[in-house]
Amino acid sequence: EAEVHRKEEYDAAVRIQSWYRGIRTRSLVKNLNRCAIRIQRHYRGFMGRRRIRAILIDSVKRMCLDHYNKQAAQIQKMWRGFYVRKYVFDYYSRKKYLESLVAKNEMIRSELAEQEEAMRREARKREEEETRRRLRAWAERHHYLVSTVVQPSVFNSPYRPFTLPEETLLLNTRPKTPPKVASVGHGFDPSWRQYGQNQLMVRLPSKLPPLPAKPQGPFRQPEEVRAQRYREFQPSLRVATDYEAYGHLAYGNAHFREVQPERHVTQDRFRTIVPPVPVFDKLNAEYVEGYVEN
Amino acid sequence: MSQRQVLQVFEQYQKARTQFVQTVAELATRPQNIETLQNAGVMSLLRPLLLDIVPTIQQTAALALGRLANYNDDLAEAVVKGDILPQLVYSLAEQNRFYKKAAAFVLRAVAKHSPELAQAVVDCGALDALVICLEEFDPGVKESAAWALGYIARHGPELAQAVVDAGAVPLLVLCVQEPDLSLKRIAASALSDISKHSPELAQTVVDAGAIAHLAQMVLNPDAKLKRQVFSALAQISKHSVDLAEMVVEAEIFPAVLTCLKDPDEYVRKNCATLIREVAKHTPELSQLIVNAGGVAAIVDFVGDSRGNVRLPGVMMLGYVAAHSENLAMAVIVSRGVLTLDAVLQTESEDHIQAAAAWSLGQIGRHSPEHAKAVAQANVLPKLLRAYLRPDVSEDLQIKSKKALKHILQKCVHLEALEPLLQEAPANILKHVVAQFSKVLPHNPKSRRLFVTSGGLKKIQEIRAEPGSALAEYINTINNCYPEEIVKYYSPGYSDSLLERVEHYLPQT
């Protein structure tokens, strides 16, 4: 019976042992698992935290960059707006320009209107001047059409109740006689000898010299003046003397300055002998010698 | 026979010749006699008289020939065919000044009719002889020679080049400085005729120092002289920017603006032409003119003149506005749009209307502000009418269509666009509806106005092919409104409602 029980006990013991071994291995494995998991857990945490850190750093960097980019974009935005508004298209300056253009246009328009007015006035004046000139020229030439007491003219017809304006025009303008052919006369030449010859028949000059502005008079009788003016020339002796001739002799070089060497006594020059001056001896000897020799 | 009797025969003959020639010359002044004279064979009779011994007969014969040739080109051709020109040219060098004047008159009368006749005159070697005449002392001879040269140069660039090659330009510039008024006129007109053909010829004229002298004469009181001076300056400046700048450097602005008010209308026209030619080259030149107040003066000029005279003014406004939107705004501010609108309305000639339409298009195409200013002047219906009229020229049609297109593409002023919805044909309507479809989605107030003014109704009535741009625009507009309203305004809605009424069974 112990054998039977031995198997049973053996089996039971084996069972208990296997159970216990099982428990032990299970707990070992569990422990090992747990350790491994623990390690893995720690490791995963570590890697994860590392990765998170990297991502964090990255995102912080990106945030910083974004911020800087935004700030830079802000600066660029402001700069571009400023630049375009100032240099490319300045709204206010363009508005001012257009306003000033309108003002300038008004000024130009008024100036041009003034100038046009002035031109028209001038043209009208010229026209009027022209018509007046023509009328005057006509009236000057047609003075014979004026009416007389006996014979009324065409413009003053007795059959018409009023006189035409041409009549007054003719009466008011001075008639111009046709230009006389100017006869060729001698001008008034005071030194002309011919005035002395026939004083009664001499023609008075047509144009006397203009009178000075000062008061004139009393005037002498014209006959007196003429007698004085045309009196004969009565020169004095001095005046009458011919200074270019010495009577029958020709004055001047030919007679008085002439030299006749054949009538000279000697050919030598005359010397002037003067006692020598002692002072001159002290001075230039040449002077004395030259003096003597000459 | 005795000697006296023999001589008497000759005297009688001479008297007869003189009388004949003088009477013919006098008769040739009246146009009705010229036919008779031509049929009587006057050319063949006058020709030997040109070689007469007596100078008076020669001169009078030349004068008569000139008057005959002046009348029409058949006679001028007869002069050319009769081999008279070489004889004239030969004696031009030798004879006295009266003969020179008469001979130059004949040459001018022949050359004025057509380029072939002018070429014939040039072929006879007339140019050298005429240039020698320009060196004479007598101003009358110079005037005739300059006139003949001007008429020759008028016809074409080759003839003008031939005139320049003969060395005429410096002498013409000297003639311009002469105190004689008619000589100045003719010389200025000759310079204008030479420089109008090509930039090289204009450059030759400028190199001879013409601009300074022409600029001095701008303020001369004589009207005919001013016409020619402005015409010459305009022809010079039209070819290139450099020439235009040289003309401007002669300090003609702002004195030129005074002449826009001259009593003579051709002076005003040529003055406006000059300003136009200067303004069309670059924005800087236009800016210069605008700053000098030129736009105001031109706008006044366009307002005061009528007919063909104001065409250069209208074109000038268009050129100025075309350069930049700044300048277009300057034109608007100077009341240019109102004046152009008046031109478009009152003028009957097509080319002036076309120019006005073009200018308006140039003004309005820069930005919505400009388009608004143009549209507010009620210009768009007029442009549309000008486009749609059946009897207009093609030029006017094209220009008004382009102008409409340009303005419409920038116009967001909806009140002005609505009248166009009714009358416009399909290609214009496309643009109108496009503008509506741009504005309406964003602006509730305008949506309301659009409905109340009947615009939505008109939109529904438009038939558009599905898939075309027009249909897209219409869709965009319809999407801005609730469906009931769109249905309410769609055509045939009342019919469909009535149909529903018919089919409705009352619930009793």
Does B262 sit within 8 Å of A120, measured CB to CB?
no
Q: CA of A157: how far to CAs of A153, A165, A170, A172, B445, in Å?
A: 6, 12, 15, 18, 86
Residues B288 and B409 both lie in one domain: yes
- Determine the number of helices (DSSP H) and then strands (DSSP E) in chain B: 35, 0
pLDDT digits (tens, 9 = 90+) for B285-299: 999 999 999 999 999
For residue range A251-294, list pLDDT tens digits in order.
Answer: 555 555 667 778 888 877 777 777 767 776 666 554 444 454 44
Instruction: Return the DSSP state at B218.
Output: G
Report the C-alpha gap between A33 and A27 in whole angstroms.
9
Yes or no: say if B412 and B372 are a contact pair by the CB < 8 Å rule: yes
Higher local confidence (pLDDT), B407 or A2: B407
Residues B330 and B385 in one domain: yes
Residue A232 in domain: no
DSSP state of B156: -
Residue B407 shares a structural domain with residue B292:
yes
Residues of chain A with Cβ-Cβ distance to B333 below 8 Å are: 98, 101-102, 105
B453 shares a domain with B353: no
**pLDDT at position B227, please?**
94
Residues of B with CB below 8 A from A107's CB?
Answer: 293
pLDDT of residue B301: 93
Q: Is the pLDDT of residue A180 over 80?
A: no
Give the gap in angstroms from C-alpha B446 to the nearest C-alpha of chain A.
27
Chain B environment of A102 (Cβ under 8 Å)? 333-334
Distance from the Cα of A126 to chain B's closest Cα (Å) equals: 12
What distance in Å separates residue B40's CA from the closest CA in chain A?
A: 43
Among A22-36, A206-220, B181-195, B249-263, name the most confident range: B181-195
Mean pLDDT of B447-469: 81
Structure tokens at A118: 């002035």
Burial B170-195 (b: 16+ CB within 10 A, else e): bbbbbbbeeeeebbbbbbbbbbbbbb
What residue of A is the nearest CA neighbor of B261? A116
Domain count, chain A: 2
The pLDDT assigned to A252 comes to 54
Average pLDDT of B330-355? Answer: 91
Question: Does residue B262 carry a pLDDT above 80?
Answer: yes
Residue of B262, B263, B334 with shortest CB distance to A105: B334
Tell me, what's the pLDDT at A203? 61
Distance from CA of A104 to the nearest CA of B (A): 6
**Same domain, yes or no, for B366 and B471?**
no
Residue B383 shares a structural domain with residue B472: no
A18 domain residue, yes or no: yes
Round to whole Å and give the CA distance between B88 and B46: 13
B451 shares a domain with B346: no
Last residue of a domain, one of B413, B446, B471: B413
Question: So what's the pLDDT on residue A287?
Answer: 47
Amino acid identity at A79: W
Is B328 inside any structural domain?
A: yes
Is B162 within the bounds of a domain?
Answer: no
Same domain, B286 and B408: yes
What is the tally of structural domains in chain B?
2
Measured distance CA(B49)–CA(B55) in Å, rounded: 10
Residue A53 lies in a domain: yes
* Minimum CA–CA partner of B334 in chain A: A102
C-alpha pair distances (Å), B303 with each of A87, B230, B313, B342, B354: 36, 21, 10, 8, 17
Residue A286 in any domain: the answer is no
pLDDT exceeds cutoff 90 at B193: yes
Nearest chain A residue to B257, by CA: A112
Contact by Cβ (8 Å): B69, B106: yes
When pLDDT is averaged across residues B331-360 and rounded to a whole number, the result is 92
A77 within domain boundaries? yes
Question: Tokens for A166?
Answer: 């041409």
Note whether B362 and B485 are same-domain residues.
no
Query: B228 CA to chain A: closest CA distance, Å?
Result: 20
The pLDDT of residue B333 is 92
* Contact yes or no for A98 and B260 at CB 8 A: no
> What's the mean per-residue pLDDT of chain B?
89
Q: End-to-end CA distance of chain A, in Å?
A: 212
If you write DSSP's letter for every residue of B102-150 in order, what string do you get? HHHHHHHHHHTS-HHHHHHHHHTTHHHHHHHHTTSS-HHHHHHHHHHHH
Q: Do residues B287 and B333 share a domain?
A: yes
Q: Is residue B200 part of a domain?
A: no
- Res B453 pLDDT > 60: yes
Residue B1 binned pLDDT confidence (cut-offs 50, 70, 90): low
Of the residues A159, A175, A191, the one at which a domain ends? A175
A37-57 average pLDDT score: 92
Q: Which residues in chain B are contacts of A109 at CB distance < 8 A? A: 293, 296-297, 300
Which helix (DSSP H) or strand (DSSP E) does residue B288 occupy? helix B283-291
How many angstroms separate the CA atoms of A267 and B505, rounded?
Answer: 183
Judged against a pLDDT cut of 80, whether residue A208 lies above it is answered with: no
Q: Tally Cβ neighbours within 10 Å of residue A66.
A: 11
Q: Which residues pair with A249 in a beta bridge?
A: A246
Does residue B208 form part of some domain?
no
Question: Is A112 close to B326, i.e. CB distance below 8 A?
Answer: no
Say yes or no: A80 and A148 in one domain.
no
Domain end residue (candidates: A152, A175, A198):
A175
Rounded to two decimals, the ipTM of the complex is: 0.79
Q: Which of B222, B261, B298 to probe by mutation at the A interface, max A CB count within 10 Å?
A: B261
- Whether A250 shows a pLDDT value over 70: the answer reads no
The residue-averaged pLDDT of B119-145 equals 91
List of residues 6+ apart from B279 with CB closer than 8 A: B285, B286, B289, B294, B316, B319, B320
Domain span at residue B478 reads 436-490
Of B156 and A207, more confident:
B156
Considering only CB atoms, B297 lies closest to which of A102, A108, A119, namely A108
Secondary structure of chain B: what % helix, strand, coil (to 5)?
Answer: 80, 0, 20
Verify whether the Cβ–Cβ distance B262 to A119 is below 8 Å. yes
Angle of helix B181-195 relative to helix B223-237, nearest 10 degrees?
20
Last residue of a domain, one of A55, A89, A123: A89
- Residue B189 falls inside a structural domain: no
Residue A230, Cα to own-chain centre: how many angstroms?
Answer: 65
Among A101, A115, A119, beta carbon nearest to B333? A101
- Mind listing the pLDDT tens digit for each residue in B3-18? 888 999 999 999 999 9
Cα–Cα dist B45/B322, whole Å: 62
List beta partners, residue A246.
A249
Cα of A125 to nearest chain B Cα, Å: 14
Question: pLDDT per residue over A217-239, tens digit each?
Answer: 788 888 888 888 888 888 888 77
**A157 shares its domain with A84:** no
CATH number at residue B335: 1.25.10.10
Mean predicted confidence (pLDDT) in B492-499: 83
Q: Does residue B445 form part of some domain?
A: yes
B110-120 mean pLDDT: 91
pLDDT class of A245 with cuts at 50, 70, 90: low
* Nearest residue of chain A to residue B329 (CA atoms): A98
pLDDT of B75 reads: 87
Residues B441, B325 share a domain = no
Q: Which residues of B touch A116 (CB under 8 A)?
A: 261
Q: Do B295 and A120 make contact, defined as CB atoms within 8 angstroms? A: no
Q: Extract the tokens encoding B368.
A: 């919505």
- Is B321 within the bounds of a domain? yes
Interface of A with B (CB under 8 A): 94, 98, 101-102, 104-109, 112-113, 115-116, 119-120, 123
Assess if residue B460 is contained within a domain: yes
pLDDT tens-place string over residues B31-90: 888 888 888 888 888 888 888 888 889 889 999 999 998 888 888 888 888 888 888 888
Whether residue A38 lies inside any domain: the answer is: yes
* Domain match, B309 and B373 both: yes
CB contact under 8 A, B263 and A123: yes
Q: Does A249 reside within a domain? A: no
For residue B393, pLDDT over 70 is answered with yes
Evaluate whether residue A102 is within a structural domain. Answer: no
Q: Which residues of A touch B334 (CB under 8 A)?
A: 101-102, 105
CB contact under 8 A, B261 and A119: yes
Chain B, 263 to 322: residues with Cβ < 8 Å from chain A are: 263, 290-293, 295-297, 300
In this prediction, residues B451-455 reach a mean pLDDT of: 82
| Domain encompassing residue A159 | 142-175
